[in-house]
Structure 1
Amino acid sequence: MKLNVEEKKILYAFGCGNLENTVRRLKWITALTVDVKVKRGVLCLARKLDSENVGEWYPCFYRHLRLEMEGYFEAKKHIRIVEKSTDWEDLYGKAV
């Protein structure tokens, strides 16, 4: 199954190791969401997880997704730290 970054973020935030509970939770989130674009994205993800035969490999997939997204967020944190601590004016001789 291929997921884009936004779908991975949604699954990271609202998913769990149990596929049935994850799909149920995503459907509830869809019902509670006001923004049409976000609602469509969450519902598409819920349908993706519900329609395909993912029951047997979902727990392993979810563990790998958690590890991947933790690495992603850690890398973003490091990038923010580097951007804050780097004096761009000294690097290029002018303010950026």
Structure 2
Amino acid sequence: MAWQAAIGLGIGDDDTVDGVAETEHVDLVAARAWVERVLPVAEFPVWVHGRPHGTAGAFLYGTVGRGWYARQDDGSLEFEPDPDGPVWDADLIDGTLRWRKKSS
């Protein structure tokens, strides 16, 4: 069992357009702490600034979900999200990080 923490990029009504950063942790506390540390200082990828409307409508958010490591055909291990596991999203609103649990 592991927890994946990630910073994602959304634009408009599109919840996830691109990933900015991700990491795995041994527990929920560590995963949430990583998001709380990284999200406030995360920056848009360079390509977002080059859009016709620049960063308008673009947003960064954090997410934490439970999963496990599965061996791939090439022998490597890759994080696999638990489709029935809990997921929390974090939004930065007026400088304050707000968590909400997604419903399954």
Please, what TM-score do these two structures have when normalized by structure 2?
Answer: 0.30
Larger radius of gyration, structure 1 or 2? Answer: 1
